[in-house]
Every structure is written in C-alpha cells, then in structure tokens.
Amino acid sequence: MTWLEGNLRSTVSPGTRLATRLKAPGIIRTPGAHNGLAGLAAKKAGFETLYISGAGLSASMGLPDLGVMTLEEVCFFVRMIFRATDLPLIVDADTGYGEALNVMRTVQELEMAGAAAMQIEDQKLPKKCGHLNDKQLISADDMVLKVAAAAKSRTHLQIIARTDALASEGMEGAVKRANAYIHAGADVVFADGLATEQEFRDFVNAVNAPALANMTEFGRTPYYSGAQFEEMGYKIVIWPVSQLRVASRAMENLYTAIAQTDGTKPRENEMQTRAEQYELIRYFDYEALDSSIIKTVVP
C-alpha cells in the first residue's frame, strides 16, 4: 500500500495519537529524522514517533541553527516526512516564528502539514542551541502569551514548551517558567541544557506535566539511555540530530575515498544496495500501482 492510494493514512489525527501515547505507560523513544528516507528507516527499525529538529533541518540545508530557517521550509520537511511515514511528528518550531499571531499561524500550518506536536522555546532571536552559552530569553509573560496563543489556535496539535532558563535563572527559574507555560496550555515541558542527573530529577519532579529529555551528543548532557530517563520520570526522550551526524560523517568518508582512490569501490560495502533502497521506499508498490491504473490498449 502506498500513500498515493489514500488508505495508508490513519483516520485519527497525529496530535490525538500522540496524546493517547502520552497517557500510556512507558517512555516515548523518539529519534530525529531530517527527510523522508530517514523517517522510513526509523519506522522500519520500529520507532513510533519521530522528532524533526530545527538544528538538523538547518544543517541539512547548509545553514546554522540561528533561527534563519523559515516556517515554509520547515513545513516542506514536515509534509515530506509525514507523507512517507504517517508517524506522529514532534516538530521543533524554534521561537514560533514571531509573536502571538505568528505562533497561531505556525500551529495551523504545522497541523495542515501533518505534525503531531509543536515545540516552542523562550529565547529571543537569533536563538541558539540550548547547549551553547549566552542565550537571551524573552520574559516568562511573553512566552506565556505565545503558549496561550498556540493553545487557542490548535485543534489537535500537542504543545511542548521549552525553557532555556537554567543557565541564567537557575533551576528555580526554569521550573517556575515551565509551570507557568503548563498553566497557559502546554501539554509537555522541556528544560534544555541540563548537565547532571540531579538536575534532570529536580526538574521532572517539580513540574506539573509530562517532561521531555534531550539526549543530544557533544553537549552539556552526559550520556543516559532511554531506560535511565524513564527511571528518572521522563515521558519522552529525543535523539534529535544523531542520524544526521552519522550520515554526514559517512558522506565525508565517501567523498574523501572518491578523491583519494578515483572511485567508490573502497566504500561499497558500507552502502545500502539498490534492492534495499527500493524495498525501503516501496518502489515496486508504486510501479505496480501505475501499471494497474494505466493499461495500454492496442488499437
């Protein structure tokens, strides 16, 4: 079955599916996907939700994660990945692409593109990765207005409110902000840049909604497994850019090999075969669909 036939898509909205899963036992393990092929590979591995990272999409476009990507560019990727996978997608929407009215439009556009959840953060533009220094925050009141606007605009989209307040306002400030965002309508909260197990435990134990943990590599957070985050009390764990880092390194190695050996043979055993790729993208299902609809008639 292909998405072209209209029967692949679930009849339940993505946000509703994610909301149901949030109420079920167990942590939601959510790897990143930066395009449709990555999404299909993650689905094949058994994952039931995917995370679309602003940093991952920006990097795939050759851009830094500084809020320079547009809403329409994000929606292009959301449509692509949702179309390919029909999985609930948690979408990093940076600061919401503007103030309250812009946030309301962001909600509408992401819902129409197929998103299950929108993550917005309380930084000023140009925003930064949560694991970097010198992040500038908007006031808690201004972020509350954005969250309330998102809640007013949605039909099913889940709202994940991220705070980067730990570095400048401490744990008390991060928790106070997170609970204010929950009161304004956020379904899940997320404090980025946590550096110790105690910080993770202190945050999740002090907020009044499910919490998301960010297990990104090469940042402030030490390595924890999904099971460890679940034991701490987290409901979602994301690996936002891991797949892109692996893919980028593999491409660098390939290009180096071509430059040094004048061919791809040294790296061929690392490649997905044509048959494997065709199976993943369901090439022959599409081909069969075409032949079943358009049949040559001999005069």
Q: Are residues 13 and 106 in the same domain?
A: yes
For position 133, what pLDDT does the model report? 60
Q: Are residues 142 and 277 in the same domain?
A: no
Low-confidence residues of the chain: pLDDT under 70: 7-8, 126-135, 293-299
Q: Are residues 235 and 254 in the same domain?
A: no
Asked, for residue 141, whether it belongs to a domain, the answer is: yes
Q: Are residues 64 and 170 in the same domain?
A: yes
Asked, for residue 298, whether it belongs to a domain, the answer is: no
The whole model's pTM is what?
A: 0.93
For position 294, what pLDDT does the model report? 63
Q: Are residues 123 and 216 in the same domain?
A: yes
Q: At what angle do helices 36-44 and 242-261 cross, to 10 degrees?
A: 110
Count of domains for the chain = 2
CATH code for the domain of 89: 3.20.20.60
Q: Are residues 222 and 253 in the same domain?
A: no
Q: Are residues 174 and 274 in the same domain?
A: no
For position 298, what pLDDT does the model report? 58
pLDDT, tens digit, for every residue of 16-68?
999 999 999 999 999 999 999 999 999 999 999 999 999 999 999 999 988 88
> In the listed set 221, 241, 261, which residue is the last one of a domain according to the structure?
241
Q: Are residues 44 and 171 in the same domain?
A: yes
Q: Say which residues have a Cβ less than 8 Å from residue 135's Cβ, sequence separation at least 6.
A: 123, 127, 128, 164, 167, 168
> In the listed set 241, 262, 277, which residue is the last one of a domain according to the structure?
241
Q: Are residues 259 and 231 in the same domain?
A: no
Q: Are residues 192 and 267 in the same domain?
A: no
For position 8, what pLDDT does the model report? 63
Q: Are residues 24 and 160 in the same domain?
A: yes
Q: Are residues 237 and 176 in the same domain?
A: yes
For position 89, what pLDDT does the model report? 98
Asked, for residue 36, whether it belongs to a domain, the answer is: yes
Asked, for residue 127, whether it belongs to a domain, the answer is: yes
For position 151, what pLDDT does the model report? 97
Asked, for residue 299, whether it belongs to a domain, the answer is: no
Give the closest residue to 107 by CA, choosing from 51, 160, 54, 29: 160
Domain residues for the domain of 181 are 3-241
For position 138, what pLDDT does the model report? 92
